[in-house]
Structure 1
Amino acid sequence: MLIVSRTLALPETELTERFLRADGPGGQHVNRTESAVELRFDVARSPSLPEAVRARLLARRDRRLTDEGVLVIQARRFRDQARNREDARERLAELIRAALAAPKPRVATRPTRASQERRLAGKQQRGRLKQNRSRPWTHE
């Protein structure tokens, strides 16, 4: 069971792990061991996720999320499989924890008079600068 928070835990049956050969340091041994981990979690069909969390996870523009709604996390940071496995699980939990909190709604505010005046003064200054770059006007 992967414990995400006090209120949410994912059963092992919803996680799919695949082990593959990792690139990077390890010498000749790296060619024989499958130390990298690919962790898959079906966000779209998971019965454990609350609907609001599922919607927030699927709405993310994340390249690790497939078109079918499966989240794929690859862990190959460490040289041994157990540490990569823990790393992948912790990264999945962190991603779901981030989606647990509802984003604070933005409150629309009006710009202050001083900020509007600063903006207009800046535009006028920029206009004068560009005007000075033009050729002088002569009578012909």
Structure 2
Amino acid sequence: MSSPRYVVKEDEVTFTAMRAQGAGGQNVNKVSSAIHLRFDIAASSLPDWLRERLLGLNDQRISKEGVLVIKAQQYRTQEQNRADALLRLQALIDGASHTPKARRATKPTYGSKQRRLAGKSQRAAIKSLRGRVID
């Protein structure tokens, strides 16, 4: 069973167009093709537990005020960068909504212990041969 997908509404996201960095040919200094996406996590319609998990992420794109800022400038057109920013936002939300599977504690097997000890003794034998040779 997969977790339900939480979709962000368009009115909760603000887009700002700006000039992109890097190569762009003749249009690099005249066309605002890069997109700044701003998403206020605290004021969103996402469930409380998901908002807490998003705010708890140690992500440098989330400000102290709880605003997520994504900068998209990979493509040369504003529409493609806008779609890329929305995809990255959705990927972040999907990743935060996934609950990690609980780890079940297990003991190492007898064979793995034997292999580890054999490797250690083999390494010790190699190191003992590095000593001074007495005639």
Structure 1: 4+ residue segments shifted above 4 A: none
Q: Any conservation in 2 of the 1:36–1:75 contact (CA below 8 Å)?
A: yes
Q: Among the aligned pairs, what percent are the same residue?
A: 48
| Equivalent residue number for residue 32 of structure 1 | 30
| Equivalent residue number for residue 86 of structure 2 | 89
- Give the match's secondary structure for 2:105: coil
CA distance in 1 between counterparts of 2:21 and 2:119 reads: 53
Alpha-carbon deviations, 1:79-127, whole Å to 9, x = none?
Answer: 1111111110111011111222211111111110100111111111111
CA distance in 1 between counterparts of 2:95 and 2:64 reads: 21
Task: Give unpaired runs (5+ residues) of structure 1.
Answer: none
Task: Give unpaired runs (5+ residues) of structure 2.
Answer: none
Q: CA RMSD in A?
A: 2.2
Deviates more, 1:71-80 or 1:7-16: 7-16
| Equivalent residue number for residue 125 of structure 1 | 122
Amino acid of the structure 2 residue aligned with 1:17: F
Q: Give the direction of change, closer, same or farther, for the CA distance of 1:7–1:97 in structure 2 (3 Å limit).
A: closer
Alpha-carbon deviations, 1:12-62, whole Å to 9, x = none?
Answer: 33212221101233322220111100112122x134222332233233333
1:72 aligns with 2:69: yes
1:106 aligns with 2:103: yes
Q: How many residue pairs were aligned?
A: 133
- Give the match's secondary structure for 1:17: strand
